[in-house]
Structure 1
């Protein structure tokens, strides 16, 4: 008999068991991150088709508007649904909505796109609430197992997830350069099938119960700022400056900075003070972009005509990275008894705002949109800072 076999312990040592647990926690984050990269790589390509190819009777944009109205409605009841299904089952079921919506683009009509959009609204509500709950509970389990600071683990896990998620903007825009139409739909439908298989690899996690904290309206509002800016940015700045062909390149820059800054911001997160500092920095970057657009920006020729939109794309990507990683980490830290409900409320505000952008955006000028966003950003940051002061007092140890 091999001497190495004789020396092998019959019962694994505690150190080996700890390493196994650690691999399990980080493995789940890797799987979840890769799954969302795949599904939104596919969905992003389909969403581009909605606004560029399905233009007859505004079928594409109307379908997207219906999707986000449905998303808003179902987010109101997503919390009990996810709690009943379990986070893993919610993630798997939610993936099917993206597959169906992308497949509907093969036969685009009111009879295929509208039902698919309605179902995807339901699917999106449970997949995103499931994602936030699953990632947070996994981070809490990891922190408890290894006796490390919970805020640091939540920040690190969110950084990895949102970094991988954001990279779909970069990869997807490059992907769209080589494929178009039915060929793109077929491939992205196949990607969704692979994604569902990825979801099946996730372990089942049980959320840990802690004390609850008050609601955070400011988080829900501030997290919508980047998307609204981004939609108007491509329409009013990128296309006039560098043309339709430049949109993909600008959004690839956006995605690259979003991904890198998500990873960096997640690594820097350690608790409420770090979240406050990082979010304030992100809000400042967004304010600079808004004021630049409102007061100084004008389309110019030559190299600067290309550079300016790309610099804006990079700054918007940085802001998106900050808000995604930090506000989702903050929800995980403060909402401990009802994690599902917290992320459900976040998605209600996000999806409602996006629906408004799709339906109202074409009728509102860029200047009016920027003014509204400056006001929203200011009110949101004031509420956010007030919340941080309140939370710091709640977290600080009480003296007898």
Structure 2
């Protein structure tokens, strides 16, 4: 197999591994608050929103050490052990206890930081300037298939169920635990890339140094303590650069909208009694609709946009407009107290007669907008900081997870319209900052080309 074929295969395997893992974890996150409401009366006092807030809070703090872990043990082992932690979190729902639920939340928060830093590092070292957009599109599309399969099962299994029985819950979470484990073991199929196939001759020596410390899972790197310290120091340095500070505002927005589409919106749909006895099963359809939007966006603006002829800003603007349209329609269609409603749901009505079709359209728009935004953000971070990809992605996920933790925390208390308003304000400011960062990238590339000439 050619070096380019090997790196492409690595990206595909990486995508399938994450697809299996997040088929389990995304489905878990989408339904957990609804599931928890069904057994709160048994002595379990946990909250899905609080658990997610813990996960992302620990995630944010752990991003400072994640580059060191990836530098020491390599991205493959980092992703494998992180995947085991995800499986353990899902398994706590089989026989739930408050202490195990929150303990697993802390552990998976640490694992998430290591997992996503390793993912960004591995994807970057398997990409060139030309293929990085395509590779992020392939990875993103495969990852977003995770929204389809688990949620499809939820829809059919819970169709017509007003209450979630213990048997229903246990069957679902045993299956999700097994699926998550399959994804973790797929990471061992990823091969070490050929240095000459990744970057130009000028940066080949840099790649060899990076791949020896990050991509190999067989060769033990020299000076592990020094590498770990260097990775930690580099993450701190990158966090205060002008480019990263600009991007951080928009990254913060992705944390807020991630919270909303992955946990809050599905809970809102399941709480709408005016959707009838099938409201709980509609959570699954909502997840499927989000996934279709994610896959479509990842395909159009990742895989097909190989050369970035028009830059990243138009795609980001399209994503933001798509989200703003979805937020407005949700404001009209969903009751304001839906995020906080008890298991019986809410009888309040928003500004129009609630429509299932409109609710699912909004799910699709949330997924489409998210893919537009994230494919471009991940691509620009990988491009701007390809020489320090692991620390750069650690900073990315540090900012995103802090905002996600904050959003899951306030989701316990804020009505729907306040949550939507916060996302609109941060999204608008973040888009402006992204435009400035993109212009800096274009200017830097122009200066580099002129110097080369």
TM-score, scaled to structure 1:
0.84
Tell me which moved more, 268-277 or 364-373: 268-277
Deviations 1:285-311, CA, capped at 9 Å, x for gaps: 12223344457985544xx82222122
Change (3 A) 1:292 1:51: closer
Q: Distance in 1 between matches of 2:104 and 2:270?
A: 31
TM-score, scaled relative to structure 2:
0.75
1:165, distance to aligned residue in structure 2 (A): 1.0
Match of 2:266 in 1: 234
Match of 2:300 in 1: 264
CA distance in 2, matches of 1:73, 1:313: 30
Aligned to 1:166: 144
1:221 aligns with 252
Aligned-residue offset at 1:135:
0.9
Distance 1:20 1:291 in 2: 49
- Residue of structure 1 in register with 2:411 after alignment: 361
State whether residues 38 and 195 of structure 1, in contact with CA within 8 Å, keep that contact through their aligned partners in structure 2: yes
- CA deviation digits over 1:52-92, x for unaligned, max 9? 22342541423333222221211122122212221122111
> Which one of 286, 289, 293 corresponds to residue 253 of structure 1?
289
Residue 131 and residue 310 in structure 1: after superposition, are their counterparts in 2 closer, same or farther (change >3 A)?
same
SS of residue in 2 equivalent to 1:274: coil
Match of 2:369 in 1: 319
CA contact (8 A) 1:335 1:342 kept: yes
Alpha-carbon distance in structure 2 between the residues aligned to 1:25 and 1:377: 34
Report the Cα offset of residue 96 of structure 1: 1.3
Structure 1 residues 184 and 129: CA distance shift in structure 2, 3 A: same
Moved more, 266-275 or 36-45: 266-275
Matched, 1:285 2:337: no
Separation of aligned partners in 1, 2:182 and 2:333: 46
Query: Is the deviation greater in 336-345 or in 267-276?
Result: 267-276
Secondary structure in 1 aligned to 2:189?
coil
Q: What RMSD over aligned residues (CA atoms) do the two structures have, in Å?
A: 2.6
Shift in Å at residue 251 of structure 1? Answer: 2.0
Counterparts in 2 of 1:178 and 1:314: CA distance versus 1, 3 Å: closer
Partner of 1:59: 46
1:225, 1:111 → 2: CA distance?
27
Shift of 1:185: 2.0
**Aligned residue for 1:88?**
76
In the TM superposition, what is the alpha-carbon distance from 1:237 to its structure 2 partner?
Answer: 5.7
Q: Deviations over 1:146-167 (max 9, x none)?
A: xxxx2x4111111111111111
C-alpha displacement of 1:332:
0.7
Q: Which residue of structure 2 aligns with residue 99 of structure 1?
A: 87
2: CA distance, partners of 1:358 / 1:222: 13
Paired residue secondary structure (1:362): coil
Identify the residue that residue 233 of structure 2 maps to in structure 1: none
Asked if structure 2 preserves the Cα contact closer than 8 Å seen for 1:272 and 1:392, the reply is no
Q: Is the 8 A contact 1:238 1:250 kept in 2?
A: no
Counterparts in 2 of 1:290 and 1:177: CA distance versus 1, 3 Å: closer
The answer to whether the 8 A contact 1:82-1:90 is kept is yes
**CA–CA separation in structure 2 for the residues paired with 1:368 and 1:52:** 21
Deviates more, 1:269-278 or 1:368-377: 269-278
Structure 1 distance, partners of 2:330, 2:373, is: 21
TM alignment of 1:182-193, pairs within 5 A: 182-193=170-181
The CA deviation string for residues 6-49 of structure 1, in whole angstroms up to 9 with x for no partner, is xxxxxxxxxxxxx5323211111111111001011122333345
The 5 Å alignment of 1:1-400 reads 19-48=1-30, 50-55=32-37, 56=40, 57-61=44-48, 62-140=50-128, 150=129, 152-178=130-156, 180-205=168-193, 209=206, 214-215=243-244, 216-230=247-261, 231-236=263-268, 239-240=271-272, 242=275, 243-266=279-302, 267-271=304-308, 273-294=310-331, 298=350, 300-301=352-353, 305-397=355-447, 399=450
* Conserved? CA contact 1:222–1:381, under 8 Å: no
Q: CA deviation at 1:384?
A: 0.9
CA contact (8 A) 1:25 1:138 kept: yes
| CA distance in structure 2 between the partners assigned to 1:229 and 1:181 by the alignment | 23
Aligned residues: 369
Deviations 1:91-120 (A, max 9, x none): 112111112212222332133222222111
**Equivalents in 2 of 1:118, 1:201: separation in Å?**
29
* Structure 1 residue 372, shift from structure 2 partner: 1.5
Structure 2, unaligned runs of 5 or more: 158-167, 200-205, 208-237, 335-349
When residues 254 and 29 of structure 1 are mapped into structure 2, their CA distance, relative to the original with a 3 A threshold, is: same
